[in-house]
Amino acid sequence: MTVQIPRTWDAIVIGGGHNGLVCAAYLARAGRKVLVLERRPLVGGAAVTEEVFPGFRFTVFSYVVSLLRPEIIRDLDLPAHGLNVVPLESTFNPLPDGDYLATWADPEETRRELYRHSPRDADAYVEFGRLMQRMAMAVKPILGISPPDPGSWRPKDLLAMGRLGKHFRDLGEKELHALVKLMTMSSADYLSEWFESEALKAAKSASGIIGTFLGPRSPGTAYVLLHHYMGEIDGVFRAWGFARGGTGAVSESIASAARSFGAEVRTDAAVERVLVEGDRAVGVVLGDGKELRAKTVVSGLDPRRTFLELVEPASLPEELVSAVERFRFRGSSGKVNLALSELPNFTALPGMGPHLKGAIAIAPSVDYLERAYDDAKRGEFSRRPFLDMVIPSMLDPTMAPPGKHVMSIFVQYAPYHRNGGWDDASREAFGDAVVDTLAEYAPNIRSAILHRQVITPADIEAVTGLSEGNIFGGELALSQLFFLRPSPAWSDHRTPLRGYYQCGSGTHPGGGIMGASGRLAANAVIADGTA
Amino acid sequence: MSVPRLDAIVIGSGLEELVAAARLAGAGRRVVVLEPRDSVGGAAAGEQILPGFRMDPVYADAGFLDPRALGDLELDRHGVSLLTPDPFLAAPADRGDSLVLWRDLARSRASIARRSAGDADHWPGFAARMETFARVLEELAGRPPVRPGGPLLDLAPFLGLGRRIRGLGRERMTELFRVLPLPAHDLLEDEFRDPLLKGVLAAMSVRGVFQGPRSPGTALAFLHHHVGSPGGVFGIRTVVRGGVARLADALATAARARGVEIRLGASVERIACTNGRAAGVALASGEEIVSRVVVSGADPRRTLLDLAGTEALDPDFVHAVRQIRFRGGFARIHLALSEAPRFEGISEAVPGVIAIASDLEHVERAYDDAKHGRASELPVLEARIPSLADASLAPEGRHVMSVDVRFVPVGDRGQGDYAPDALADRVVELLAERAPTLPGTILERKVLMPADMEERYGWTNGDPYQGELALDQLLFMRPVPGWAGYRTPIPGLYLCGTGTHPAGAITGASGRHAANAVLEDLGGAR
């Protein structure tokens, strides 16, 4: 029998989601002794790949990659740890009138396709792409810094604010105005300034509503549109990509990198609470009552869990507690994963073709999306939802048995606060609405379905722990961004408790498989020298 | 070429135009105001529903009378006196209950407490916080908009404002930043439990926007309407004794006293340009008037695209002007009444707003209908009976009532859902649910649909704000980014209406800022 020697860690990271893993990897890389504790049997949080049905592997929650910061990929040498992203070359949106709107890898081909819908839009599209790229460049530096506290007189904060001011002024007046518009407008209004074709406006505005509890006509959605453009800028990926092995493979590559720097990643290890002595976090208590001590504890969970559940809220400033209590989650999306005996056959573009290798969306008009939102506002899932789909088995044959396919369908809206709550019956009814919608465009889908997994926001919460099933760890709304994410003065990944840090998507910049929050938190820990 | 006799032509005789004209004349400039209609005041001109029953066609109150703009015009000498309606807000509720808000905080609290003790506790703090925020907006309204991308020196006056905002203290300051882009829905849900209180406050938050309370930015619209509320009481707007028309008349008198010539029935058809410079106007009558500058109170789109014409303008600028969102969505129904209506559950006379907005969902659904292009099934109403506080508005014992209807889609006039009579019938029916005697007391009614307002006042889509009060159409973005300083790309042509900063319900500021810009360019006072 070996005697367990009590160990203390430099840092314990709670939650093995991608941000927790990124944080752990950076800390380990800086020579810290790091332990990651993941409640589930596998790492990844909302970025996991699981064999849900025998032979069929699904990226259960998140499904595409584009935002992962290139500096993280470089610093952690993720390709060496198995990261391999295949670009999604095309987008394909079937329309109710039997036509479709597509974009292709070849810009000339895209131009011809758009020209078919509107010659004016075909020209505007190129200009629009350039502007969005410039806007993304303008915002990019913000993703890499911790927000200053605008209420502080500390030289550090004043300097950071001055730098920000200068950064934005240096953009020039025209770009600044364009940025203000993007930050404040609805995606529908913003796109109407550019395009006339309804199909194109709808296709584009769909990315402005992903993960939000807002419709395309709600101000603030143009920013989410931009958020989804940020992945396009570094030339690492083109637009959206699919990771071979699913998004779980992304998580595993980060975990592998973390381990290579010496971090320990433990699964099936649920953290009950953070151990606090005085005003200091000194470790964690596991579900089985075991205590693990560390100089630093980093929470990769969302702000609600980080501040209201893992620690005693009474020990925190009231200002922070009430900010977190007000922080909006309101998960709005669900997921349907299909195991298919054959590929969907779209009436608008029949047969097998390159369009099945890209992103496929049911978003035929702005009004369609807005109506889908109306249902959610009233506490129901959309009867005719917005669907954002990929067929991973087209890009990575290992995802399904030979000749068979898996289809990943992101669905909006499915409100967490559904009238009457979610149960098995409403989950299946929601699944039916999704299949019915898809069947209108690809009638063979019904008979092709071998298995179906339906995931509601309540399921997302239950499995991943994300409060109210919000995929961004808190709404990406204007009032919850930058220094307001999650709370003023505590948006720099620190907390009022010494030695306690936060690194989840509910911190700046948040949202998507980006990893920036994890990296910024690690920087804060290292800068403080607490671990 | 002869030297123009006139320094400035002001197009329109609305409140902002008259303020601009008076200020220019006060600086020794020769000014003529051209008003297409046969009375002064533009949309502020008063009318009668029936002989002796007076109405303000579209204005409900005087807005915030910016003292910096109006202080030296001695309006009180010209007959303007202000009233503060009290109670200022009431809402009938089910089962004969009601919500009534008073100038006296304790009375408001008592009324709220009958419905929710917690809300009553929250109310004073909420009101104080909102008032603080509205004061910051007031500060912003009092200055011409700054260009954040402009020369550093231009930013200097705003250091004071920055200090002031930081002076709120960290908690309040960051709260302000959080609240500005917030949906009113979230702001109210955070604070209150009573559905009715949230409903009537939400109804305020959608004035001037074509958005439901769940849309980000409606909290800002909410605050905007409280700029200038009398100190210590949140939510009150002062009204002018005799109606807003009195204010227009007084401004006209003040302007004339300073030498401004006001020509009625003078409809401007075109702004004439010489060598790329605005040099006068051509009237519908064919007459041409020459002046050194032209100041237009017409909305930015009409001014720049219809009156000035696009030939001389940069296509990007024209595009930006075309993109200004004028959504209107507001109709006004005027009633002449043989007696004051009694609303169930409200024992006192309410000279302020009587809101029909039972909860947040009601307001949101009314918007949803309109956003899909149909009239709201259950419209949101804000009714006023100004004759309760001001007997001069109706014959003795009789009353006038005006009802604001939100979210009336801008459609073809007289068609289906948009028919004014259908709308008025529906509105009266809804009011009668709370005031059963009302229908039998109606002597006459007049309906102003968005299309009517467009026709009468030249407002694009009948938008009285001359551009939606949306986050992206305020401050340095109003009316179009880069041209928020009342000047236009056509030298000598200026804008002064509510389509420019600081937008609607704040009276005189835009006219004053515009006049200052003109004077700066003309070389100051003479």
Residue B418 pLDDT level (bands cut at 50, 70, 90): low
Residue B31 in contact with partner chain A when CB distance is under 8 A? no
Mean pLDDT of A305-314: 97
Q: Chain A contact for B371, CB < 8 A?
A: yes
Which strands form B381-384's sheet, in the order they lie side by side?
Answer: B98-101, B89-92, B353-356, B381-384, B399-406, B330-337, B442-448
Measured in degrees and rounded to the nearest 5, phi and psi for residue B35 equal -115, 125
CA distance B61 to B239: 5
**For B484, which residue in chain A has the nearest alpha carbon?**
A177
Q: Residue A24 has what pLDDT?
A: 98
Confidence (pLDDT) at B411: 67
pLDDT at A451: 98
Of A70-79, A95-104, B16-25, B152-161, minimum mean pLDDT range? B152-161
Spell out the domain ranges in chain B.
Answer: 6-81+243-325+466-522, 326-457
Per-residue pLDDT at A402: 97
pLDDT band at B417 (very low <50, low <70, confident <90, very high): low
Task: Give helix then strand counts, H and E, for chain A.
Answer: 18, 18
Q: In this complex, is the C-beta atom of B256 within 8 Å of any C-beta atom belonging to chain A? A: no
Interface of A with B (CB under 8 A): 149-152, 168-169, 171-174, 176-177, 180-181, 184-186, 189, 193, 214, 217-220, 319, 326, 328, 367, 370-371, 374, 377-378, 477-479, 483-484, 488-489
Question: How large is the average pLDDT for residues A388-403?
Answer: 96
Report helix, strand or coil for B82.
Answer: strand
Confidence category of residue A286, pLDDT binned at 50, 70, 90: very high
B210 contact residues in A (CB cutoff 8 A): none
Residues of chain B neighbouring A184 (CB-CB closer than 8 A): 181, 217, 470-472
Distance CA B298, CA B278 (A): 15
Answer whether the bond into residue A486 is a cis peptide, omega within 30°: yes
> Is there a contact between A479 and B182 if contact means CB atoms under 8 Å apart?
yes
Per-residue pLDDT for B470 more than 70? yes
Residues of A in contact with B177 (CB under 8 A): 150, 483-484, 488
Q: Do A151 and B166 touch (CB under 8 A)?
A: yes
Mean pLDDT check: name the lowest of A202-216, A222-236, B18-32, B403-417.
Answer: A222-236
Q: pLDDT per residue over A450-472, tens digit each?
A: 999 999 999 999 999 999 999 99
| Predicted local confidence at residue A1, as pLDDT | 47
Q: What pLDDT was estimated at residue A22?
A: 98
Which among B399, B406, B395, B404 is positioned nearest to B351, based on CA atoms? B399
Cβ contact A173–B169 (<8 Å): no
Residue A531 has pLDDT above 90, yes or no: no
Rounded to whole angstroms, how far apart are CA atoms B500 and B508? 12
For A486, name the nearest residue in chain B, comparing CA atoms only: B178
Closest-CA distance of chain A to residue B170, Å: 5
pLDDT of residue A236: 42
Helices and strands (H and E) in chain B: how many? 17, 20
Q: What is the mean pLDDT of chain A?
A: 93
Residues A312-332 have pLDDT tens digits of: 999 999 999 999 999 999 999
The whole-number pLDDT of residue A504 equals 96
Residue A273 and residue A285 in contact, taking contact as beta carbons nearer than 8 Å:
yes
Q: What is the pLDDT of residue A237?
A: 38
Per-residue 3-state assignment (H helix, E strand, C coil) for A294-319 = EEEEEECCCHHHHHHHCCCHHHCCHH
For B484-509, write each residue's pLDDT tens digit.
Answer: 999 999 999 999 999 999 988 888 99
Would you state the pLDDT for residue B1? 45
What rounded mean pLDDT belongs to chain B? 92
Residue with tokens 């032509």: B9
Least confident stretch, A158-167, B241-250, B256-265: A158-167
Q: CA–CA separation, B278 vs B293, rounded Å? A: 6
Band the pLDDT of A151: cuts 50, 70, 90.
Answer: confident
Q: Output the CA torsion sign for A219, A222, A228, A233.
A: negative
Tell me the percentage of chain B whose pLDDT exceeds 90.
76
Name which of A56-60, A133-137, A275-279 the model is least confident about: A133-137
> In this structure, are residues B43 and B65 in contact, taking their beta carbons and an 8 Å threshold?
no
Look at residue A6 in the predicted model and tell me its pLDDT: 55
- Three-state SS for A393-434 is HHHCHHHCCCCCEEEEEEEECCCCCCCCCCCHHHHHHHHHHH
Q: What residue of B is the nearest CA neighbor of A172?
A: B149
Could you say which of 1.25.40, 3.10.20, 3.30.70, 3.30.519 is the CATH number of the domain covering B326-457? 3.30.519
| Contacts with B214 from chain A: Cβ below 8 Å | 214, 218, 377
Residue A232 has pLDDT above 60, yes or no: no
Hey, is the C-beta of B257 within 8 angstroms of any chain A C-beta? no
How distant is the Cα of B200 from the closest Cα of chain A, in angstroms? 19
Residue B305 sits at the chain A interface (C-beta within 8 Å): no
The Cβ-side half-sphere exposure at B390, using a 13 Å CA radius, reads 25
Residues of chain B contacting residue A328, judged by C-beta atoms under 8 Å apart: 186
Please report the domains of chain A, with CATH numbers, ordered by start residue.
9-85+245-327+477-528 (3.50.50.60), 119-235 (no CATH), 333-413+419-455 (3.30.70)
Look at residue A222 and tell me whether its pLDDT is greater than 90.
yes
The residue assigned the tokens 């550093």 is B152
Chain A residue with Cα closest to B325: A189
Mean pLDDT of B195-219: 96
For residue A233, pLDDT beyond 50: no
A489: phi then psi, degrees, rounded to nearest 5: 75, -20
In total, chain A counts a number of residues equal to: 531
Mutate to test the interface with B, among A168, A180, A223, A481 (most CBs of B within 10 A): A180
What is the pLDDT, as a whole number, of residue A372? 98
CA B332 to CA B381: how far, in whole Å?
Answer: 10
- Binary contact (B170, A367; C-beta < 8 A): no
Query: Taking residues A437-446, what's their average pLDDT?
Result: 98
Q: What is the pLDDT of residue B499?
A: 96
What confidence tens digit (pLDDT) does each residue in B289-343 have? 999 999 999 999 999 999 998 888 999 999 999 999 998 889 999 999 999 999 9
The contacts of residue A371 (CB under 8 Å, 6+ apart) are A382, A384, B372
Does position B478 have pLDDT exceeding 80, yes or no? Answer: yes
Q: The tokens of A203 are what?
A: 């296709």
CA atoms within 13 A on the CB side of A420: 7
pLDDT at B414 (0 to 100) = 52
**B6-81+243-325+466-522 belongs to which homologous superfamily?**
FAD/NAD(P)-binding domain (3.50.50.60)
Contacts of A180 in chain B (CB under 8 A): 472, 477, 481
Alpha carbon A451 to its chain's center: 26
Q: How far is A163 from chain B (nearest CA, A)?
A: 14
pLDDT band (50, 70, 90) for residue B2: low
- How far apart are the C-alpha atoms of B232 and B131, rounded to whole Å? 8
**Which of A152, A180, A370 is facing B472, going by the closest CB pair?**
A180
* Beta-bridge mates of residue B31: B8
Q: What is the mean pLDDT of residues A210-232?
A: 87
How far is residue B389's CA from residue B86's CA, in Å, rounded to a whole number? 9
Return left, alpha or beta for B228; rule: phi > 0 is left, psi -120 to 50 is alpha, else beta: left
Least confident of A46-50, B259-263, B349-353, B418-422: B418-422
Q: What average pLDDT score do residues A363-392 get?
A: 97
The ipTM value here is 0.93
